């Protein structure tokens, strides 16, 4: 069954909060989707400062920001997960 857009967006933020920093390919493996499906949401989240790039050894990874954590709180997901937020 395909992801709804909202569920995909929430799952991206949740996964990056719980397991980040992750590359696009690692994130796709956790979410069980094709990496190309994540390009749009990742660009949107980066533009909105919900996630940020973290470069290590020439591999671009992504990590959730405090703003991403606030979005999870809005959806009442934050108390359910152990947060690993990287402050900007």
Taken in order of first residue, the domains within the chain and their CATH numbers are 5-80 (1.10.10.10)
Sign of CA dihedral 55, 53, 67, 78: negative
What's the pLDDT tens digit per position in 2-54?
668 888 998 999 999 888 799 999 999 999 999 999 999 999 999 999 999 98
- Confidence (pLDDT) at 81: 55
* Spatial distance between the Cα atoms of 33 and 78, rounded to a whole number of angstroms: 23
**pLDDT (0 to 100) of residue 29:** 95
| Phi, psi dihedrals of residue 21, rounded to the nearest 5° | -75, 145
Global pTM reads 0.79
**For the segment 54-83, what is each residue's pLDDT rounded down to a tens digit?**
877 788 999 999 898 888 888 776 555 555
What is residue 44's DSSP assignment? Answer: H
């Amino acid at each position: 069954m395909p992801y709804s857009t909202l569920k995909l967006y929430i799952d991206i933020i949740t996964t990056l909060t719980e397991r980040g920093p992750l590359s696009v390919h690692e994130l796709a493996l956790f979410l069980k989707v094709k990496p190309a499906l994540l390009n749009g949401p990742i660009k949107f989240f980066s533009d909105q400062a919900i996630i940020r790039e973290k470069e290590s050894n020439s591999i671009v990874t992504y990590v959730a920001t405090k703003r991403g954590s606030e979005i999870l709180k809005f959806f009442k997901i934050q108390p359910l997960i152990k947060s690993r937020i990287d402050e900007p």
